[in-house]
Structure 1
C-alpha cells in the first residue's frame, strides 16, 4: 500500500480519525474541538482522504460510514522514512545524533529502551599541536644540569 503525504489540515483530522477508527460525519462534528469547521469543509476533507486511500466508505442508507485504512503506526513509519531520506542521508545514526544534540532524547532514554550499557562521551575537539611554540615557551634543559641535580639529591 502506497502512503501519500498529508497536508497539515488533513493530518489534524486524521489524528481524530485514528482515535475513532470507524465513524460517521456526525461523530466527527461532535468530537472536533472548537472552533468547529463547517460540515461541508469536513465532507470535502473526507472525500480527499478517501481518494488518498486513508479512509474507506460504506454506504448505510443515506449516510456514509468511514473506516481508517492506514494505521497510525504505518503513517509514523512513512514520515520517519521520508525524514531520514530527505534530511539525514538514510542514516539512523545521523537521526540519533541530531536527537541527542537537540536534547530530544537522553542517554537514559536509550538505556531504558535497549537495556544496554551505553555511555556517550562528549565530542572533544583536538587542539592543534604547537611544537615550535612549546619549544620556545618550554626550552629543553641541558642533560648536564639534570645530572648535577641527580648527584646533589644522592648526596
Structure 2
C-alpha cells in the first residue's frame, strides 16, 4: 500500500480513535486555522482510492470508516523501514535498536520469549 502524508495519517488516527466520521466531524479535530471542508474531503477520497478507508452514503454525504487497522498500518511502516533502511534485515533493525539502547531489559526478555515461541512453532511443522 502507498505511504501516507502527515494529513492522511492524522485523518486515519481520527478514524481509529473516534470510529466512523463525516468530513464535517473531522474538521473539529484540526488545529486552527482549520483546512477547508473541500480539502479534507479530497484527502479522505484519496485515502479511499488508496484502500485505507471506505464510506457509507447518507444521501449526498458520506461517513468514512477505516478499513486498514492501526496495527496493520504500523506493521506496514515497520516493514517498509526495514526494507528501506536495513536492507530487508529484521536482525539489523532490532540490533540497531538494542545498540541505541532503545529496548529496555524487559523488552529484550520479551523479544527472546517471542523468538523461542516462534522457533517452537517452526519446529512443529
What interval of TM-score do these two structures reach, taking the shorter chain for normalisation? 0.7 to 0.9
Structure 1 residue aligned with 2:72 = 74
Q: How does 1:39-118 map to 2 (within 5 A)?
A: 39-111=37-109, 113-114=110-111
Distance 1:34 1:16 in 2: 16
Q: When the two structures are superposed, what TM-score results if normalisation uses the length of structure 2? A: 0.79
> Which fold has the larger relative contact order, with Cα–Cα distance below 8 Å and residues 6 or more apart in sequence?
2
Structure 1 segments unaligned to the other structure (5+ residues): 117-155
Cα RMSD of the aligned pairs, angstroms, is 1.8
SS in 1 for 2:73: helix
**Partner SS state of residue 70, structure 1:** coil
Q: TM (normalized to structure 1)?
A: 0.65
Deviations 1:83-134 (A, max 9, x none): 11111122221111111222321223222x3475xxxxxxxxxxxxxxxxxx
Structure number with higher helix proportion: 2
Distance in 1, matches of 2:19 and 2:79, equals 24
State how many pairs are aligned.
113
SS of 1:81's equivalent in the other structure is helix
Structure of greater Rg = 1
